[in-house]
Structure 1
Amino acid sequence: MHYTEYDTRLAAYAVVTDDEGRVLLALWNEGSRRQWTLPGGGLELHERAEDGAVREVLEESGYHVEIDELLGVDSYVFPAERRSVPTDRPMKAFRVLYRAHVTGGELTHERDGSTDEAAWFHVSEVAGLDRVSVVDVGLRMAGLALR
């Protein structure tokens, strides 16, 4: 399919961990069911990917973070019927993933956004959660195996 026949979305996400072996996740509320995701989301037009990841973590969790490293870039194709907005166009999502750590703030749930809860989970708990694919991608890139 030619690139003019589908939509593209660039997003940035952060794998935020703590000293207790936990990872920060946000509860995404825009799909057909609520699922856990890495904090992150779509970039604004003139925003650098790193800045978008930092902004999204703050909006979705209340934490200020600092980027440690680029983990990688992943892509995923959403068929038109699985998109959260009615359309006949599929979408290719490019997801830039970073490792980050908390530098301040406190856990706060997002209001009127695409997520409505944030929480810390031990990596060993993540396999049992209803989650979107970017969680597994990010944890794999960060070297954190799901059990």
Structure 2
Amino acid sequence: MHFTDYDTRVAAYAVIVDDGRILLSWFNGNHRTDPGWTLPGGGVDYGEQLPAAVVREVKEETGYDVEVGEPLTTNVFVVPFEAGRRPYQSTRVIFEARIVGGVLGTLEVGGTTDFAEWLPLEDAAATSESTADIVGLGIEAWKALTTR
């Protein structure tokens, strides 16, 4: 399929681990996805650099300022044609990041994030219905980086 025949969303996310805990945000759901835990991050604005998107999204969703590290992994998923909608591709880039300031508290108003919390890393790595697949992808990539 030619790229003009489907919609594309580029998103950037952060894996932030500290003292055996990972920072996650609570996605409040939409018409295609149930509510659940996800990595802080989201859609990259037009003309925005990926690391800048991570800084902005983490601030909005968690209240923290971050320094963005290297990309850990990428992931692509597609949603095929549905009546009334074009096919859709989501390209997600996951970065390592560390907190450099701020205070825990969601700043986003009227958005898709209700709150953020630190969760034990091992609990977050366990697959559950209330955890988005991107959390496991991010943790796996982060562990691969830290064991090099």
TM over 0.5: yes
Structure-2 change in CA distance of 1:89 and 1:70 (3 Å): same
Uncovered stretches (5+) of structure 1, i.e. residues with no partner: none
Q: Which residue of 2 aligns with 1:140?
A: 140
Uncovered stretches (5+) of structure 2, i.e. residues with no partner: none
Give the 3-state SS of the residue equivalent to 1:143 in structure 2.
Answer: helix
Q: How many angstroms apart in 2 are the aligned matches of 1:89 and 1:3?
A: 11
Structure-2 change in CA distance of 1:106 and 1:11 (3 Å): same
Task: Choose 22-31 or 72-81, whichever is displaced more.
Answer: 72-81
Q: How many angstroms apart in 2 are the aligned matches of 1:112 and 1:121?
A: 24
Q: Which residue of 1 aligns with 2:22?
A: 23
Alignment root-mean-square deviation, CA:
1.7
The percentage of aligned residue pairs carrying the same residue is: 42
Deviations 1:4-37 (A, max 9, x none): 221101110000111x210010011133421111
Q: CA deviation at 1:72?
A: 2.1
Please give the TM-score of this superposition, normalised by the length of structure 1: 0.87
Q: How many angstroms apart in 2 are the aligned matches of 1:143 and 1:79?
A: 32
Give the 3-state SS of the residue equivalent to 2:119 in structure 1.
Answer: strand
Give the 3-state SS of the residue equivalent to 1:107 in structure 2.
Answer: coil
Deviations 1:76-135 (A, max 9, x none): 112355xxxx94212111111100010111110233111111001111111164111111
